[in-house]
Amino acid sequence: MFLESAKNPGWIEIICGSMFSGKTEELIRRMKRAHFANQQVEIFKPLIDVRYSETDIVSHDANAIRSTPVESSGNILLLTGDVEVVGIDEAQFFDMHLVEVCKTLADSGIRVIIAGLDMDYLGRPFGPMPALMAMAEYVTKVHAICVRCGNLAHHSHRLTAGDKLVELGEKDSYAPLCRHCFNEAV
């Protein structure tokens, strides 16, 4: 039994940080490497994320990779089939069931790579990300550069009015800020 599970280990990797920190870029890089290694890969994103493309995952630097948009995390289990690596972008927009979905995938021997915002625009833990980070074997926190002072940024400061938690936007709607500048701005 031990040898069998050692041949096909599954695990969870998290790539988290603020907006403009390179999360999606890193997810795309890891997924392309897995594909290059002839591994069966499948990539998912939330159906609501149509900023750059309805189907592809696209980084702010315009790198792209084919993905499958899904309405809820439960759809991911239905669509994984015979894969070795699953990528999930914008995980913070999924429901809390994503935690169990990722656990099920990893427990069945699949490498799961997840990218998402770890905090919302108010600086609070965002959606399923805290629970996913707690159960992941590997967590990579990437940082943007604070647009006010040039230090490392880990907050996504909303520039537009509104109090909806989920509000898709780009540089016209959000700015990466360090802790000090974020605290001054709110």
Which sequence positions are flagged as catalytic? 90
Alpha-carbon span 111 to 34, nearest angstrom: 10
Alpha-carbon span 1 to 11, nearest angstrom: 18
- Give strand ranges (E) for 26-167: 41-46, 57-58, 64-65, 68-70, 85-88, 111-117, 138-142, 144-145, 152-153, 155-158
Alpha-carbon span 73 to 93, nearest angstrom: 10
Alpha-carbon span 57 to 88, nearest angstrom: 10
